A and B are shown apart, each in its own frame.
Chain A
């Protein structure tokens, strides 16, 4: 168990402010606050959970509005391969899902979907749209695939060392989800194989020794500026059938 020198220096309310700030940022609670604020952390983690099906049902209407107002043949420099003007109108739920799946897990999410590491509703969505396995019966999520665990913990460490606030929050969120709760994170990572002994730090502090080679985003193939296609796993170009095998349930 690491020692936290600052806790002795702070009075209770300052510590609590720190803890409340951590809750809002989605980072781990300082140990002293876990007992009192752990349940709140769980509520906030639920607020951050992946989308439910009924939160994705308005897409068709929004796309229709987009088509009415904006969609038109794209400029030539754009996404030449995808020819979005034409292809976009044919965009299937499958392609949209692949894009989302690529976005959510921040790299390796496709792998996460296949490993069953996504939250249940996402796994279901991925299952229907890109053929990932169906969610496990029974309990909410997942994995305990040691590789997934290792990746999530490592990403979290990298994000905390080098990432933006968004990346920190996203990495922590993914970790909380996989660990089944904010309070389980330390144990979860301690159990992950090959992970360095330092668990995710609950409090940001300078750590000059541990700046890993820069991983600003866990997504490893972030496109360089000017890369024409913004879709890392976009619709399979040239795939003839615009009809997905399954669609998200629209109203």
Chain B
């Protein structure tokens, strides 16, 4: 999972416990392991506010750290859930939550972000991939990121986004198919 560079793995319980008892190095390790994934997720679901939301999320996580119980998967689920709530609260406050059911629009009718696709393949860096993902309908992008970047399994993602596991699987698969179309239409092939 996670990604990303790091999975703490077998050390996780010891690292968590050390952090809960005040070991800053252990906390740093948790942060370093989780923050890049968190930022990538937030860059898609909270675009411009991602750094702020990440910082707020860590404040909250630190606040609840001593009480947290669970393994590494539960830890990630907790951090991402905390972040997601902050995003939702913030957008409610700004009351600019727009949740069009893009999911239900037939794929062919949706604009294809060919520019993003071109750009992404030109410099297939993480940022470009994030830009590309951000071109997907929100739920599809979110569940793909939670699976791929946060490293959560399908059921954990379902709990996190408040949908059924089936709905999450369908959204993820639709998102990936659409991504394949976007890339194919941008002329990206093997």
B47-72 contacts to A (CB < 8 Å): 51, 54-55, 58-59, 62-63, 65-66, 72
Q: Is A122 an interface residue (CB 8 A)?
A: yes
Q: Is A246 an interface residue (CB 8 A)?
A: no
Q: B9 contacts A217, CB within 8 Å?
A: yes
- Pick from A46, A79, A85, A166: contact of B72, CB below 8 A: A166
Of the listed stretches B25-33, B95-103, B104-112, chain A binds B25-33
Q: Is A219 an interface residue (CB 8 A)?
A: yes
> Hey, which bits of chain B sit against chain A, CB under 8 A?
1-11, 13-15, 17-29, 31-33, 35-36, 39-40, 51, 54-55, 58-59, 62-63, 65-66, 72-73, 120-121, 124-130, 132-133, 144-145, 147-149, 151, 153-154, 172-173, 176-177, 179-180, 183-184, 188-190
> Hey, which bits of chain A sit against chain B, CB under 8 A?
17, 20, 23-24, 26, 34-40, 42-44, 46-52, 55-56, 58-59, 61-63, 65-67, 69-75, 78-79, 82, 84-85, 87-89, 91, 95-96, 99-100, 103-106, 119, 122, 164-167, 169-170, 173, 183, 216-217, 219, 222-223, 225, 227, 230-232, 234-235
Q: B14 contacts A165, CB within 8 Å?
A: no
- Pick from A46, A55, A69: contact of B35, CB below 8 A: A55
6 closest cross-chain pairs (CB), A and B: A88-B24, A104-B5, A230-B14, A84-B23, A51-B36, A46-B129
- Is chain B's binding surface mostly helix, strand, loop or mixed? helix
Q: A100 contacts B29, CB within 8 Å?
A: yes
- Pick from A47, A69, A106, A235: contact of B9, CB below 8 A: A106
Give the Cβ gap from B37 to chain A, nearest Cβ, in Å: 9
